[in-house]
Amino acid sequence: MVQTEFARILADPLELSRQWSREGRKVIGCLDSYIPEEFIHAAGMIPLRILGSTGNVTLADSYLPVFAGKLARSILEQGLRGDLVHLAGVAVSNSSDAVRMLYDLWGRHIPQQRAFLIDVPAILEGETNHRVFRQAMLDFKDELEKFTGKTLESAALRRSIAVFNENRKLLKEMASLLSASPPRLSAETYLDAILSGFVLTKEQHNDLLRQLLESSSGKTSENTEKLVPLHVSGPILVDRSFLPLVRKCGATLASEDLGTGSRYFWDEVDEVGDPVEAIVERYWNKITESYKTPMERRWLHLLNQIERSRAAGVIFVIEKYSDEDQYDYPVWRDRLRSRGIPSLLLDSELVLESEQVRTRVQTFVEIVKGGAFS
Amino acid sequence: MTSAAPKKKGRALNSSYEAAIVLKDYWEGAARHRVEGRPVAWVSGNVPIEIFWALGIYPVYPENYSAVCASIQRAQEFCETAEEKGYSIDLCSYSRVNLGIVLGKGVDDPTLPYGGIPRPDMLVTTRIPCLPQVKWWEVVREHFDIPMFVVDATMVELPVSESQRQHYLGQIRELIPFLEQKLAVRFHEDTFIETLRLSDRAAELWLDIMDLRAAVPSPVGSREMCGNVFPLVAMLGNPKTIDFFSHLRDEAQQCVQEGKGAVENERIRLGWDNIPMWYNLKFFSDVEDRNAIFTYETYLRYVWGGRMDLNDPWTAFANKHLDVWLNYSINQRIKTLLSDVVKFKLDGFVFHQNRSCKRFSMGQRDLSQVMQEKIGVPSLFIESDMADPRAYAEAPTRVKMETFLEMLEAKKH
Residue B68: enclosing H or E segment and its boundaries?
helix B62-71
Give the per-residue pLDDT at B10.
Answer: 80
- The domain tally of chain A equals 1
Give the per-residue pLDDT at A374.
Answer: 46
Euclidean distance between CA atoms B98 and B96, whole angstroms? 5
Give the per-residue pLDDT at A21.
Answer: 97
Residue A87 lies in a domain: yes
Q: Are residues A345 and A318 in contact, defined by beta-carbon separation less than 8 angstroms?
A: yes
Chain B interface disruption, residue of A73, A130, A132, most B CBs within 10 A: A132
Residue A213 lies in a domain: no
Q: What is the pLDDT of residues A119-137, one digit of tens each?
A: 999 999 999 999 999 999 9
Give the per-residue pLDDT at A353.
Answer: 76
* Below-50 pLDDT ranges, chain A: 374
Q: What is the pLDDT of residues B125-175, one digit of tens each?
A: 999 999 999 999 999 999 999 999 999 999 999 999 999 999 999 999 999
Residue A363 lies in a domain: no
Residue A58 lies in a domain: yes
In chain A, the DSSP E strands lie at 27-30, 46-49, 89-93, 114-118, 228-234, 251-258, 313-319, 343-348
Q: What is the pLDDT of residues A163-206, one digit of tens each?
A: 999 999 999 999 999 999 889 999 999 999 999 999 999 999 99
Res. B94: pLDDT tops 60: yes
Residue A46: φ, ψ to 5° = -115, 120
A114: left (phi over 0), alpha (psi -120 to 50) or beta: beta
Give the per-residue pLDDT at B7.
Answer: 43
Residue A27 lies in a domain: yes
Q: Are residues B395 and B3 in contact, defined by beta-carbon separation less than 8 angstroms?
A: no
Give how far A168 is from chain B: nearest CA, Å. Answer: 29
Closest CB to B90 among A67, A127, A135: A67
The pLDDT mean for chain A works out to: 95
| Cβ distance of B87 and A135 shorter than 8 Å | no
Residue A39 lies in a domain: yes
Residue A171 lies in a domain: no
Res. B413: pLDDT tops 60: yes
Give the per-residue pLDDT at B5.
Answer: 40
Q: Are residues B367 and B258 in contact, defined by beta-carbon separation less than 8 angstroms?
A: no
Euclidean distance between CA atoms A61 and A76, whole angstroms? 9
Residue A170 lies in a domain: no
Domain span at residue A52? 2-155
Closest CB to A326 among B91, B173, B355: B91
The pLDDT mean for chain B works out to: 95
Q: What is the pLDDT of residues A13-39, one digit of tens each?
A: 999 999 999 999 999 999 999 999 999
Euclidean distance between CA atoms A256 and A266, whole angstroms? 11
Q: Does B258 touch chain A (CB under 8 A)?
A: no
| % of residues, chain A, pLDDT over 90 | 93
Give the per-residue pLDDT at B295.
Answer: 98
The domains of chain B, with CATH numbers, are: 17-187 (3.40.50.11890), 191-412 (3.40.50.11900)
How many whole angstroms from its chain centre is CA B39? 24
In chain B the first and final C-alpha atoms are separated, in Å, by 19
For residue A107, the chain B residues in CB contact (below 8 A) are 331
For residue A291, the chain B residues in CB contact (below 8 A) are 131
Euclidean distance between CA atoms B129 and B156, whole angstroms? 12
Domain with residue A78: its CATH number is 3.40.50.11890
